[in-house]
Amino acid sequence: MNRKITNEVPYIPCGIFKIRLPFLHYRIETTEFIQGLVLGVTALSAVPYLETYMGIPYELAWSIVILDCFLYMLHGFLGDPVVPGWITPSLPLTIVFLEGFEMGEERIQAMIALQLLIGAVFVFMGITKLAEKFVNAVPPSIKGGILLAAPVTVIAGQIGEGGNLNRYPAAITAGVGLLLLISFSDEYQRRRAKNRILDVIAKYGNLFPYLLAMAVGILLGELDKPGLVLGTVLKIPDIGAIMSSVSIFGVGFPPLSIFVQALPLALVSYIIAFGDFITSETLLTEAQEFRNDEHLDFNSSRSNLVCGIRNLTLGAVAPFPPLCGPLWVGLTVSVSQRYKEGKEAMRSLIGGMASFRIATFLSVLLIPVVEFFRPIFGVSSSITLLFQAFVCARIGMAYCGTDRDKMIAGVMAAILATQGTAWASAWALGVGLALNLFLSNWHPFRKGTGE
């Protein structure tokens, strides 16, 4: 456990990775652990997607989420100081892709192919360190079009026939409203500085919006009352059923034709995820400015590799529509903000990040906790998607610096959101590239330009 930098948390060196174990290398941070126990069940908002779009029964879907949460802990274990999450903006595009295949083994194979490809892209970028060059080569209009497709797809799905906004209008509106308020309202931030209660609500990120949605839904009869399950405490994931039902060993390895159809969306998803690496580095740089007692080491190649391992593992064993992304922005911000308060508040940043994800894993194993929050799974998934729609709209528009960028991005977003086939991403990328070249909005072969 030799360290070149004396004020860095101890670790076991393993190439690019820095192996750290709880209690041995860092302590469990109580606040983050408690928050993880409560917010951990939000990971189960993936269950409705597994049920609806892949035809997986509830109990099996729960087992898949447990595996996903177990893999979250790899980041802290291997030295990546973030709270990892999903590639949430790509979820609407993934749903469109999956709907282009027949429900059953073919659709599961499509999800396997997509996730294996994304995992391979992460690993390739981590090994070669070409991530920044690849993403910088993509025209801003294409980045904007990819992100602008998400709000269109999400809102159309939520208000359409069978959409959750028609089933739980008050609960979802209350939850999304509070989450937007604490995230984007300048007035709320001003009042938060003087009000302890408002400050606590904001610090706990998604927790209070979900609790408010649950309370409103129950009071208005939109949601069932939570159940109290006594007796069995721990859920043991059914690995045998997973291997026989949804893994490459159960449904078979996808044919080459499905990989070809999945490749454009894999590239699109990576472009979306790349922004999280930049966000992670920015957040850690800001945290380092507040604390000189601990050296913070963020390595984008390491983060790429860990994300690749997660996606390749789930792709082969338990394909997961939300995909495995490098960052849960809200919680990483929350933990880093508390870290800035000093050593008494949090001894080490990686300890805080890892403590949250360890608690998350325990949370989805606890049957009483999961059953208590089960009525809100559908609502929480909608809150997550709608909030992400606002974020994607803001970032997507920011990418479009010129009128031509805006026009091209709008056309791409329309194709991605309305094509409704597995080839939607390919069509959108093709049209976007063609329009950029046709309108002289992109010069990939001109030396000395960044366009």
How does pLDDT run across 361-396, given as a tens digit for each residue? Answer: 999 999 888 888 888 888 887 887 788 788 778 878
pLDDT band, residue 231 (cuts 50/70/90): low
pLDDT band, residue 4 (cuts 50/70/90): low
Cβ count within 10 A of residue 185: 13
Contact by Cβ (8 Å): 385, 155:
no
Torsion sign over Cα 399, 405, 410, 416:
negative
Length reported for the chain: 451
pLDDT band, residue 125 (cuts 50/70/90): very high
User: What pLDDT, on a 0 to 100 scale, did the predictor assign at position 421?
Assistant: 63
Q: Categorise residue 195: left if φ over 0, alpha if ψ from -120 to 50, beta otherwise.
A: beta
Taking the model in full, what pTM does it have? 0.83
Looking at residue 8, the DSSP 8-state letter turns out to be: S
How far CA 225 is from CA of 171, 278, 372, 444, in Å, comes to 13, 41, 8, 57
Residues in a beta bridge with 18: 13
Q: Is the pLDDT of residue 316 over 90?
A: yes
pLDDT band, residue 448 (cuts 50/70/90): very low
Looking at residue 341, the DSSP 8-state letter turns out to be: T
- Hey, what are 76's tokens? 């802290």
Highest average pLDDT, of 254-268, 290-304, 317-331, comes from: 254-268
Q: Is the pLDDT of residue 171 over 80?
A: yes
| Domain assignments of the chain as residue spans, ordered by start | 12-139+227-376
Contact by Cβ (8 Å): 109, 258:
yes
How far CA 281 is from CA of 9, 300, 333, 356, in Å, comes to 18, 8, 12, 19
